Amino acid sequence: MKNIHLSFVFHIAGLVILFLGAFFLLCIPISFFYHDNQINAFLLSSAIASLIGFTIFLTTFKSRNTDPNKRDSFMIVSLAWLILSLFGALPYIISGSIPSYTDALFESASGFTTTGSSILNDIEALPKSILFWRALTHWLGGMGIIMLMVAIFPFFKVGGTHLMTAEGSLFGVDKIKPRIINVAKRLWLVYLTLTFSETFLLKIAGMTWFNAVCHSFATIATGGFSTQNASLINDTPLVQYIVIAFMFLSGVNFALHYYGFKLNFREIWINEEFRLYTILTLLISGFIALSLFVSGDRNFFTAIRESTFQVVSIITCTGFASADYEYWPVFAKCLLFMAMFLGACTGSTGGGIKIARFVLLYKSLILVFKKLINRNTVSIITMNDKTIEERFILSTFTFVMIYILTITLGTMILTSTGIDIATAGSSVVTTLGGIGPGFGMVGPVENFSALSIFAKLYLSFNMILGRLEILPFLYIIYIPFSKY
């Protein structure tokens, strides 16, 4: 097994910190426009990040031409999300908006991992530039800052093919272009197009430009940070319908968007994951809408809108709320909790287990039953008219098993601190899946502020673990023992 090029890993880490220092500066015009007196907070944050990042980058400059192997890639991606979370907390601390570093780290990790969980009790009291930074962390983390770096790595003469693979969010994009750099650029074009489109429509629907931009950042990144205390509960039905549409689109493999722009609808139609994603969204939304309507609290159209909004928000792991589902019938809440495990499509900004894995699990189980009946059954599994290698199927089973074990272990850890089972279990599920709100103390109109310092730190780690999809982190843990 190849050794890790630590000098190169830290070289890229320095580059990540430098980029973050530059992004801090984007909040200064917002602070200036709204006169919220936070310019110095972002200047100081940028200065700290730039100084540390430049020092690391310069001292490891000789390793810049290294082409990372798989070990390097997993280490870089894991370290990148940790760095983003740690340094992204600086504006919250320096501005005094979130005095506790534990809380600031939680909010930062939640932003960059597009989880959307929060410790803030009064979001609207925060300065506009801090709210913009909060939304920007979503937008940057959504497609992945690694994606941005890969797109411009040629200017630094740094190889990036393995990084794209390690990021783990680009399943199915291999046919867009032969060069991975061009893939990154084209997917960022899709990302920008969706962002500008939603911003424009939300503005037309009645939002201010500021709220429209921040909610678009959070929607397209499937993040869920709102600039409003009540999320989108008090917004008009038109705003909610627009957000539903873009949440759904953001949960679709971004390669399919690219095919749509090229009017290549066949690639979209033959995609089994997209079909199941659409069917599950409609079915779960329909059952919950029926449950809400039968309960007698809502008319038919309100039941459909509320159920569809929450189901799309949960499945795509966005985390916006249009209603307090804690007061929904038990049947509806059970379906929502089950939806938390689904996740969006691979190659999207959504989290969770991902629909494609469920497709493979289903086909694998069907094959097992067929073999029990007839031992001569050919053991071939296809997806989207392609034969799936056995190693991918094994990897899928391994991931799902580890995912469930991680949730079980995390729930046990949190309940041992005195948290009730509903809060503990949903906290772990929602942070690992990048969903946002849960049940109990962390419901849609509540937040994570009441949890202990240990619980917040553990859940912050859980967010990063979920963003990495667990296996890269385990691979890194395995490295020291690989020679034994």
pLDDT digits over 246-283, tens only?
Answer: 999 999 888 888 788 877 778 788 888 899 999 999 99
Burial class of residue 481 (count of CB atoms within 10 Å of its CB; 0-12, 13-18, 19+)? exposed
Angle at 406 (CA atoms; ends 365, 105), nearest 5 degrees: 140
**Sign of the torsion formed by the C-alpha atoms of 369, 372, 376 and 379:** positive
Model pLDDT, residue 146: 53
Model pLDDT, residue 479: 56
Give strand ranges (E) for 129-206: none
Give me the residues of the chain with pLDDT under 50, please.
1, 152, 155-164, 168-178, 481, 484
The per-residue pLDDT for range 177-220, each reduced to its tens digit, is: 445 567 677 778 888 999 999 999 999 999 999 999 999 999 99
Q: Are 99 and 418 in contact (CB under 8 A)?
A: no
Q: Which two tokens stand for residue 253?
A: 């493999």
User: Closest by alpha carbon to 282, among 315, 238, 239, 234?
Assistant: 315
Q: Which two tokens stand for residue 295?
A: 């309960």
User: Closest by alpha carbon to 134, among 109, 102, 100?
Assistant: 109
Model pLDDT, residue 170: 41
In 3-state terms, what secondary structure has residue 382?
A: strand
Model pLDDT, residue 484: 44
Model pLDDT, residue 158: 47
Q: Are 183 and 176 in contact (CB under 8 A)?
A: yes
- What is the gyration radius of the CA atoms in the chain, in angstroms? 22
Q: Are 349 and 138 in contact (CB under 8 A)?
A: no
Round to whole Å and give the CA distance between 264 and 180. Answer: 20
Model pLDDT, residue 369: 83
b/e string for 214-243 if b means 16 or more Cβ within 10 A? bbbbbbbbbbbbbbeeebbbebeeebbebb
> Dihedrals φ, ψ of 383, to 5°?
-150, 125
Model pLDDT, residue 147: 62
User: Closest by alpha carbon to 71, among 13, 145, 1, 140?
Assistant: 1
The per-type count for the chain, helices as H runs and strands as E runs, is 22, 2
